[in-house]
Amino acid sequence: MTVRRAARALGRHGLLHAYGHCSMRLDARHFLVCASQPPGTIGVGVPGSVVAIEGDFPPDLLGEVRIHREIYRRRPDIGGIVRSMPPRTMSLSALRRTPRVLHGMGCYFSPGVPLWDDVQLLRSDEQASAVVDLMGSAPAIVMRGNGAVTCAASLPDAVVLAWYLEDAARVDLDCLYTGMHAAEIAPAEAAQRATRAGTIFKRMWDYLTHDDPESPAP
């Protein structure tokens, strides 16, 4: 249910369209990825696919789910992944830029988001491995002209980070339009601002999934 709610939220808020997917870790050996259809159209009860982290890649899955598998394989702290197509982030990537750390929500990506500087679709194990090499321990990576990936300890948090990343791109583009200098937030200040205390991530998740047909009753 969480995977379906996440998929619909990403579609509803314009973070993906016909393309994109999300997943959550089930255990040390498996993860669940959303159904292979436009995520925003996934209906109540539509099953996803359980994928083994090791072994051959299932031929019936979308090719870029390999990125999910490689992240789960290398990063045991990761419990959820979003492969999104956020429009402003895409526009920056066409300039070979990723969102700068200019406002509070951008602080979660300090000191910066890596850029995969290749427009080709990522449909081989070798490509997925190279992307995750570049990503390292970062919470996100942007692919030039080809969207972004965010990851976190849970899928709801990865969805929130996808929204934060796009908001950081919005602020960056707005500043670029003015032609004026925008001061980036220093890493030490960003680390202090990028809090996860209280319900800050839950509140955004609740906003993004509000009125979802599978949201739990209040």
**pLDDT tens profile 59-82:** 899 999 999 999 999 999 999 999
Mean pLDDT of 171-190: 96
pLDDT at 35: 97
For the domain spanning 2-208, the CATH number is 3.40.225.10
pLDDT at 57: 92
Q: What is the dihedral of CA 131, 134, 140, 144, to 10 degrees?
A: -60
pLDDT at 75: 98
Q: For the chain, what is the largest distance between any 2 Cα atoms, rounded to a whole number of angstroms?
A: 51
The answer to whether the peptide bond before residue 111 is cis (omega within 30 degrees of 0) is yes
Percentage of the residues of the chain whose pLDDT score is greater than 90:
96
216 or 166, which is more confident?
166
Residue 42: C-alpha distances to residues 38, 69, 158, 160, 167 (Å): 7, 21, 19, 19, 25
pLDDT at 198: 87
pTM above 0.95, yes or no: yes
DSSP codes of every residue in 42-94: PPTT---EEEESSSPPPTTS-TTHHHHHHHHHH-TT--EEEEE--HHHHHHHH
CA gap 9, 89 in Å, rounded = 18
Q: What is the mean pLDDT of the chain?
A: 96
* Coil, helix or strand at residue 148: strand
pLDDT tens for 86-144 read 999 999 999 999 999 999 999 999 999 999 999 999 999 999 999 999 999 999 999 99
CA gap 169, 99 in Å, rounded = 5
pLDDT tens for 192-205 read 999 998 899 999 99
Burial (CB < 10 A; 0-12, 13-18, 19+), residue 157, is: buried
In this model, does residue 217 exceed pLDDT 80?
no
Of all helices (H) and strands (E), which one includes residue 10? helix 2-12
